Amino acid sequence: MPYVKTRDGTDLYVKDWGSGRPVVLTHGWPLNADSWDPQAMALAEAGFRAIAYDRRGFGRSGQPWSGYDYDTLADDLADVMAATGADGDATIVGFSMGGGEVARYMSRHGGKGVIAAGLISSVVPYMLQTDDNPDGVPDSTFGQMRDGIKKDRAAFFRDTFTPGFYGVGYISHPVSDDILDWSTSLALQAGLKPTLACLDAFAYTDFRPDLAAFKVPTLIVHGTGDKTVPIDASGRAAAKGIAGSQLVEYDGAPHGLNVTESDRLTQDLLTFLGR
């Protein structure tokens, strides 16, 4: 089943590996399901069923003009779960922007069929800096991102992955140039409209009201060196708002810890799933 058709007729590309208890993985912006491959492979080899899909507008999925709000994206997650039969005893795990789908699914769909959740370098609960969210990201930063994408999307993403996303600097170089090239190629598979619309979605959606809907064990993993999604406004705030959640901080790790700390993240996920 390489494709699932959503309730509004959008085709979503789905990777379904292994068998056993399902773990549904939602990817970050501006990547696609391939960014979950190391963890998905390890999950399948450990006896789980790993399901990862390309968000609408990204990767190999359809690129409709609309539907990039989190209500629709959460419905897409629900449709993938239903079509693959992963709507019972499932764990849903979101990286970065994908954490928003997890949070909105828990509130909008009542956490149907979910027995555990994971938020990895997630944008939840609120990215935007406001008077009541002083640790968030200034609105001007999102404006600069928008302008950079419109001016030269390829250059913007190559630059984005270099210093902030993977923590690459003059001294630190935790990933290869090949990883930077690969990440950029994934980002450029998305359409311009979905790229910009999803930027607005994760920048301006307030998930704080969704936190109370988490009624299952929840693993939160975040790097203390994350300059893309600052930990105080995200991982630590989510941990305070989700009762009984487990926060694991990776000291000094950047946003893209699914790559820079791949083995550690995989082991933490497997430990959590086998709790």
pLDDT for 83-114, tens place per residue? 999 989 999 999 999 999 999 999 999 999 99
User: How far is CA 84 from each of CA 5, 49, 123, 139, rounded to the nearest angstrom?
Assistant: 11, 11, 26, 38
- Report strand pairing: 114-120 vs 90-95: parallel
CATH number of 3-273: 3.40.50.1820
User: How far is CA 208 from each of CA 48, 57, 199, 270, rounded to the nearest angstrom?
Assistant: 31, 26, 18, 28
Question: 10 Å Cβ neighbour count for 173?
Answer: 13
Check residue 161 and give its pLDDT. 86
Per the residue annotation, which of 76, 226, 234, 245 is the catalytic one?
226
Per the residue annotation, which of 35, 61, 96, 107 is the catalytic one?
96
- 255 in catalytic set: yes
- Report the alpha-carbon distance of residue 39 to residue 15 in Å, rounded: 13
Contact residues for 102 (Cβ-Cβ < 8 A; gap 6+): 26, 77, 92, 93, 94, 117, 118, 119, 122, 124
Residues 182-214 pLDDT 10s? 999 999 999 999 999 999 999 999 999 999 999
Check residue 174 and give its pLDDT. 76
- Nearest 5 degrees, angle CA 212-CA 216-CA 220? 80
**What percent of the chain has pLDDT above 90?**
91
- 96 in catalytic set: yes
pTM of the shown model: 0.96
- Report the alpha-carbon distance of residue 255 to residue 269 in Å, rounded: 17
- 245 in catalytic set: no
Residues 105-148 pLDDT 10s? 999 999 999 999 999 999 999 999 999 999 999 999 999 999 99
Confidence label for 164 from pLDDT (cuts 50, 70 and 90): confident
Amino acid 32 reads: N
- Report strand pairing: 114-120 vs 48-53: unpaired
- Report the alpha-carbon distance of residue 127 to residue 228 in Å, rounded: 10
